[in-house]
Amino acid sequence: MDQRCKACFINNYDRLLEKFPLSNDHSLEFSEFFNNLMGDEGNKSSPEIQRELHHKLRKLNGIADPYSEEKHQGNQIALKLYDEWKPKILDSSDPFDLALRLAIAGNIMDYGANHEFNVHETIEKALNANFALGSSQSLKKRISEAKKILYLGDNCGEIVFDKLLIETMMHQDLIYAVKDSPIINDATLQDAQEIGMDLVAEVISNGYDAPSTILEKCSPDFLSAFHSADLIISKGQGNLEGLIDKKDSRIFFLFVVKCDVISERIAAEKGSIVILNQN
C-alpha cells in the first residue's frame, strides 16, 4: 500500500463516522484499530485494508450495509441514463465504441474514492477524449475471438453501464462477477439483480468481499470461470490493484484514473479514461 492511500481511508471513514456516529468507546476502539492497521500496511494491499476497516466498522455500528442508500441511488440514477443512452447507442455509427466509453465513464460512480462525482460531466469527457492507454478496436477484436468472457463488475450505478456494453457486445458465453457481500458501494448479486444484469448475462459471486478481485481468496466456482475464460474484462481501480501484478494478457482493465498512485503506476493522467492490457 502506498502511504498516500491512508489519506483516502481517513476521508472515507470520516464521512462514514459522520453519517453513522459511534459511541465514545467504540470510536476510540475504531481509531486504535485503524492506526494499528496502518502500521501493518506493508503486509496488506489497499483493498485488503479497506475490507478490514469496513468489517470493523460494521461490527461496531451493527449496520450490515453502510452504503445501501448510495448503492440504490446510484443504480436509479444510472437506470435513467440507460433509458437515455440505449437508443443513442443503437443509432450510433459505432455502437461498441460508444457503449464502451459509457461503461468506462460509469466507473466514476465510486463512493470509496469520491464523496461527490458528476457522472454527466464524466460522460461528456469520455465521449470526446482519446483513450490514455489502449483502444476500443483492440478490445473489440479480442471479444470477437473469445469463446468465453468473464466480466468483473465494480460499483453500483456503474454496473448499469456495464449492462449496456454487454448488450452491445451480444456475446453468447459471458459471465458477470460481483462481490460476495457488501463492501463499500461494490455490487453484490442483489444489486446486479436490481438492475436486470441477470437478464443479459450469467451472474456469479466471486466468493469474497474485498473491493477487488483477490484470486487467493476467491471461491472455486469463480476461479473455474476465471481460468477458463479466453478474455477477462476488469472494471475499476480496485480490480486493477488485485490483478495488475498477475500480468495476465487475457485481462483488459477499464477504468477512470482516480488518484495519483494509479496515475504514476500506469503512466496516465489523473481523470483520463483507460483500456489497459498487459500483452
pLDDT range class, residue 113, cuts 50, 70, 90:
low
Question: Is it the case that residue 43 has pLDDT exceeding 90?
Answer: no
pLDDT value of position 128: 85
196 SS3 class: coil
Amino acid at 122: T
pLDDT value of position 268: 94
Amino acid at 162: D
Distance between CA atoms of residues 64 and 47, nearest Å = 19
pLDDT value of position 213: 97
Would you say how long the chain is, in residues? 279
Question: Is it the case that residue 41 has pLDDT exceeding 60?
Answer: no
CB-based burial, 269-278: b 16+ in 10 Å, e otherwise: eeebbbbbbe
Distance between CA atoms of residues 101 and 216, nearest Å = 31
pLDDT range class, residue 112, cuts 50, 70, 90:
low
Q: What is the mean pLDDT of the chain?
A: 92
Grid look-up 498487459 returns 278
Angle between the 24-39 and 46-61 helix axes, to the nearest 10 degrees? 170
pTM of the model: 0.94
Give mean pLDDT, residues 184-201: 96
pLDDT tens-digit readout, 124-179: 888 888 888 988 999 999 999 999 999 999 999 999 999 999 999 999 999 999 99
Question: Is it the case that residue 115 has pLDDT exceeding 60?
Answer: no
Question: Is it the case that residue 23 has pLDDT exceeding 70?
Answer: yes
Give mean pLDDT, residues 180-208: 97
